[in-house]
Amino acid sequence: MASDMNDYFNKKKNEGQKGGGFQSPKPPKFDFNMNGQKTGIFWLIGGVILFLFLAKPFVIITEGERGILSTNGKYEEHTLLPGLHFLIPVIQKVYLVDTKVRIINYADKVDRASTTGDGILLKPAITVLDKRGLPVSIDMTVQYRLNAQLAAQTISNWGFSWEDKIIDPVARDVVRNVIGQYEAESLPIMRNAIAQKIEEGIRNTVEGQKNAPAELASIQLREIGLPQKVKDQIERVQVAKQEVERAQQDVERAKQEALKKETEAQGSANAVTIEAKARAQANHLIAQSLTPGLLKLEQIQVQGKFNEALKENKDAKIFLTPGGSTPNIWIDTKTPDSQKITSAQH
């Protein structure tokens, strides 16, 4: 029977070949085209690149920044330093924080274009009350930076707006406490002491926070704004003080003139006294030196001079004082119409 079946199919096959009837199906042919394989590879590489671009499994941190690595929403304790860092897409994420020096300017009447920019914030002047309740405005500048080593803890505790929660409220609170200790009139006079107290207060409070979130670079007190009536009062006091100083200068000048005249007068009197004392001392020395023998010698010398004179004028007359003391008097009687009196002293 099997042979009969084979004969039947062979017969049908031959009939089909002759008459175009039944034909057995042909096996499929596979075309191994190399161009199709290359296109697939390119698509695969492109897909990988697109995935890497969208997933971004790396991050580049520049100088002045730190990276905070978050794994499934939990911050890592240590920050990432500048450089290239790889991470697991979707599971890990890096948050960049600025660690450069930042500035807060507290002021009202300033040029915003020159006081704002990268890392510079402009806030209104700090308005507080003095000891008597008068309003006072304070302009100052606070320079600070995020503590790079503990940046993760700071962001975890305070969030990315940490400076609005730490620096700003602390600065306003310290200024309020310091200014409240003084009266408005004394603020310009105590400016240096007030600036020092404000700086110490802000620095101690901020740096004393848990984990030391920020480092303060400097705190500068720029201007103290006083109420207009206080300014007017200070101006009146200054004018009165200047007038008092001018009067004191006039009094001091008058004292100096009087002292000068008194010194000159005293100097003249002293000169007269010294001269009188010198003359008296000289007369005393002369009187002590006039001994009888010296007087006799003086008389002989004078008499010799008269004798010499008589040789030329024999008509002259000489009158000697009693006791032979000098001076002797010489009277020229050579002519009756003219007489000449000569006194000879020792």
For residue 121, give the amino acid letter: L
User: Distance between CA 329 and CA 337 in Å, rounded?
Assistant: 19
φ/ψ bin of 101: left (φ > 0), alpha (ψ from -120 to 50), beta (otherwise):
beta
Residue 18, in any domain of the structure: no
Exposed, middle or buried, 273 (CB in 10 Å: 0-12/13-18/19+)?
exposed
Main-chain phi, psi angles of 58, to 5 degrees: -150, 165
178-181-186 Cα angle (round to 5):
100
Give the residue from 32, 65, 98 where a domain finishes: 98
Does residue 205 sit in the same domain as residue 166? Answer: yes
If asked whether residues 269 and 317 sit together in one domain, one would say no
CA distances from 79 to 96, 141, 295 (A): 10, 29, 122
| CB proximity list for 294: less than 8 A, separation 6 or greater | none
Domain shared by 340 and 252, yes or no: no
Q: Is residue 2 part of a domain?
A: no
Could you say which of 289, 320, 336 is where a domain stops?
A: 289
Residue 202 belongs to domain with CATH number: 3.30.479.30
β-strands 83-86, 58-61 pairing: antiparallel
Q: Are residues 233 and 257 in the same domain?
A: yes
Residue 153 resides in a domain: yes
Same domain membership, residue 278 and residue 190: no
User: In this structure, are residues 210 and 157 in contact, taking their beta carbons and an 8 Å threshold?
Assistant: yes
Among 186, 204, 226, where does a domain finish? Answer: 226
Does some domain include residue 194? Answer: yes
Q: 29: helix, coil or strand?
A: coil
pLDDT at 103: 93
pLDDT at 301: 67
What are the contacts of 232-241 at 24+ separation with CB within 8 A? 233/185, 234/185, 234/188, 237/185
Q: How far apart are CA 107 and CA 112, in angstroms?
A: 10
Q: Can you give the pTM of this predicted structure?
A: 0.55
Is residue 167 domain-shared with residue 269, that is, in the same domain? no
- Could you tell me if 148 and 66 are in contact, meaning their C-beta atoms sit under 8 angstroms apart? yes
Q: Tell me, what's the pLDDT at 235?
A: 75
Q: Output the pLDDT for position 33.
A: 53
* pLDDT tens-digit profile, the chain (346 residues): 445 545 555 555 555 555 544 455 555 554 445 556 777 787 877 776 776 666 678 888 888 889 888 888 888 888 889 988 888 888 888 889 888 999 999 998 765 545 556 788 899 999 999 998 999 999 999 999 999 888 888 888 888 888 889 999 999 999 999 999 999 888 988 999 999 999 999 999 998 888 889 999 999 999 999 888 887 777 777 787 787 788 888 888 888 887 887 777 776 767 777 777 777 777 676 666 666 665 666 666 666 676 676 666 666 555 555 554 455 555 555 555 444 444 444 4
Residue 22, in any domain of the structure = no
Q: Are residues 193 and 118 in the same domain?
A: yes
Other beta carbons within 10 angstroms of residue 132's beta carbon come to: 11
Query: How many Cβ atoms are within 10 Å of 51's Cβ, its own excluded?
Result: 12
The dihedral through the CA atoms of 187, 190, 193, 196 has a sign that is: positive
For residues 82 and 138, membership in a common domain is answered with: no
- Are 273 and 303 in a shared domain? no
d(CA 316, CA 322): 19
Decide if 21 is inside a domain.
no
Q: How many domains does the chain have?
A: 4
Quick one: 179 and 265 in the same domain?
Answer: no
Residue 4 lies in a domain: no
Angle of the 191-207 helix axis to the 167-179 helix axis, nearest 10:
140
Q: Is residue 116 part of a domain?
A: yes
Whether 126 and 218 share a structural domain: yes
User: In degrees rounded to 5, what are phi and psi of residue 193?
Assistant: -65, -40
Same domain, 296 and 266: no
For 324, the domain range is 292-344
Residue 220: count of CB within 10 angstroms of its CB: 13
